[in-house]
A and B are shown apart, each in its own frame.
Chain A
Amino acid sequence: MSTVELPRISRTRATSASLRLSFLMFMADPQWLIPSMIAPVVFGLVAFELFRGSGPYFLTYAILGAGMMSMWGQTLYGSGWAIGQDREFGTLEPTVQSPTPYVYVVLGRVLWNVVSGLIGGAIVYLVVLAAAGSPPTVPDPIGFVVLFVFVMLTLASVGILFSAAWVYTRYSGFIQNVGEFAFYIGTGCMFPVVLLPFWTNPIALVFPPTWALDALRYLAIPGYVGFGWGFWPDIAGAILTTAIYVAIAGTVFKRVELHVLSKGDLSDY
Chain B
Amino acid sequence: MTDVPAIEVRGITRVFESRKGFLFREHTRTEALRGVDLTVRSGSIYGLLGPNGAGKTTLVKILSTLLLPTSGTARVLGHDVVEDSDWLRPRIGLVLGGERGLYNRVSARDNLRYFADLYGLPGAEREERITAVLERVDLVSAADRRVEEFSRGMKQKLHIARGILHRPQVLFLDEPTIGLDPKSARETRKLVRSLVSDGVTILLTTHYMFEAEELCPEIAVLSKGRIVAHDTVAGLRQLVGGDRTLEAEAYGFEDREVELLHRLPGVSKVVSEEYGPRTRLTLRLRSPETTASDVEAALPGHSELSVRERRTSLEDVYLDLVEEEAR
What residues of chain A have their CB less than 8 Å away from a CB belonging to chain B? 1-2, 4, 6-10, 13-14, 16-18, 20-21, 24-25, 28-29, 89-91, 93-100, 105, 176, 258, 261-262, 264, 266-267
- Flag if A28 contacts B106 (CB, 8 Å): yes
Contacts A1-B78, A99-B118 hold; do A28 and B94 have CB atoms under 8 A apart?
no
Tell me the dominant secondary structure on chain B's binding face: loop
- Flag if A1 contacts B120 (CB, 8 Å): no
Partner of B115 from the list A10, A13, A16, A94 (CB cut-off 8 Å) is: A94
Closest to B88 in A: A99
In the A-B complex, the 10 residue pairs with the closest CB atoms: A90-B100, A17-B117, A28-B105, A98-B118, A7-B120, A9-B120, A99-B89, A99-B90, A90-B101, A100-B118
A97, B89: Cα distance in complex, Å: 6
B contacts with A, residue count (CB < 8 A): 47
When distances are taken between beta carbons in the complex, the residues of chain A under 8 Å from B22 are 176
Closest to B168 in A: A4
Closest to A98 in B: B118
When distances are taken between beta carbons in the complex, the residues of chain B under 8 Å from A28 are 105-106, 146
* Residue B240 lies at the interface, judged by CB distance under 8 Å to chain A: no
What residues of chain B have their CB less than 8 Å away from a CB belonging to chain A? 1-2, 4, 14, 16, 22, 42, 58, 61, 64-68, 77-78, 86, 89-91, 94, 96, 98, 100-106, 110, 113-115, 117-123, 125, 146, 162, 166-167, 169
Partner of B121 from the list A7, A29, A267 (CB cut-off 8 Å) is: A7
When distances are taken between beta carbons in the complex, the residues of chain A under 8 Å from B106 are 21, 24-25, 28
A262, B86: Cα distance in complex, Å: 16
Closest to A265 in B: B18
Contacts A7-B166, A90-B98, A264-B16 hold; do A95 and B118 have CB atoms under 8 A apart?
yes
**What is the minimal beta-carbon distance from A266 to any residue of chain B, in angstroms?**
7
A115, B119: Cα distance in complex, Å: 25
**What is the minimal beta-carbon distance from B205 to any residue of chain A, in angstroms?**
16
**What is the minimal beta-carbon distance from B320 to any residue of chain A, in angstroms?**
31
- Among B1, B2, B67, B120, find the residue whose CB has the most chain A CB atoms closer than 10 A: B120
Closest to B82 in A: A261
- Among B16, B119, B169, find the residue whose CB has the most chain A CB atoms closer than 10 A: B119
- Flag if A1 contacts B101 (CB, 8 Å): no
When distances are taken between beta carbons in the complex, the residues of chain B under 8 Å from A258 are 68
Contacts A90-B100, A91-B102, A99-B86 hold; do A261 and B66 have CB atoms under 8 A apart?
yes
- Flag if A98 contacts B119 (CB, 8 Å): yes
- Flag if A97 contacts B110 (CB, 8 Å): no
When distances are taken between beta carbons in the complex, the residues of chain A under 8 Å from B166 are 7
